[in-house]
Amino acid sequence: MLTIPNLLTMLRVALIPIFVVVYFLDWKWAHQMGAFIFWFAAITDWFDGYLARKLKQMSPFGAFLDPVADKLIVAAALLMITDTYASPWITIPAVLLMAREIFISALREWMAIHGQSDTVKVSFWGKAKTMAQMLALIGLLSELEHLPIGEVVIPLYWQTLGFILLYIATVLSVFSMVQYIVAAKQFLLNPIYQRKE
């Protein structure tokens, strides 16, 4: 169980409370440091999957914990940006993204129970949504538009880019959700799977 990929996944879970505490510190660069921790956690997500395949250390524990760790830290980040910006333009897409994750997780669990996991496996559009969502959250958490270095101010526009990517992620989220529903439709509507009262 204590393989390198699993240790990276557990590290990502352990980073969640650190990420939240650092983000809300009364310190000038707290939000930027919180965004950095979130970025670091996102990088470990890529590495643990890569190493699991490369080292052939895939395990049931890793397969369970990896998506849980992702959803926990993303949910925390979405809640934090809704608190920081306190704007319906941020809150509405954040709620849609969280609702979609809960719905798809429930759908995948139901399909797995009936031996149809492959029907709702992660699609290209789902992966594109995840990438856009991660980049959006990094930009919005950082709140960086300009970086002052001495007397020089470097334009970054990460916050603006994060706002744009949040809406791209929301559109991709809804689109991929519809794809999953269509793929699972024949099983959801099949009388053989309906619960007997």
166 CB neighbour count, 10 Å cutoff: 23
Global confidence as pTM: 0.86
**What is residue 114's three-state secondary structure?**
coil
**Cα separation, 180 vs 30, whole angstroms:** 38
Amino acid identity, residue 58?
A: M
Condensed to tens digits (0 to 9), the pLDDT of residues 44-101 reads 888 887 777 887 778 777 778 888 889 999 999 999 999 999 999 999 999 999 999 9
Mean per-residue pLDDT, 180-196: 72
Q: How much is the pLDDT for 197?
A: 43
Q: How much is the pLDDT for 39?
A: 94
Amino acid identity, residue 21?
A: V
- Domain spans in the chain, listed from the N-terminal domain onward: 4-193
* Topology of the domain covering 4-193: Four Helix Bundle (Hemerythrin (Met), subunit A) (1.20.120)
17-50 CB burial, b ≥16 within 10 A, e <16: eebbebbeeeeeeebbbbbbbbeebbebbebbbe
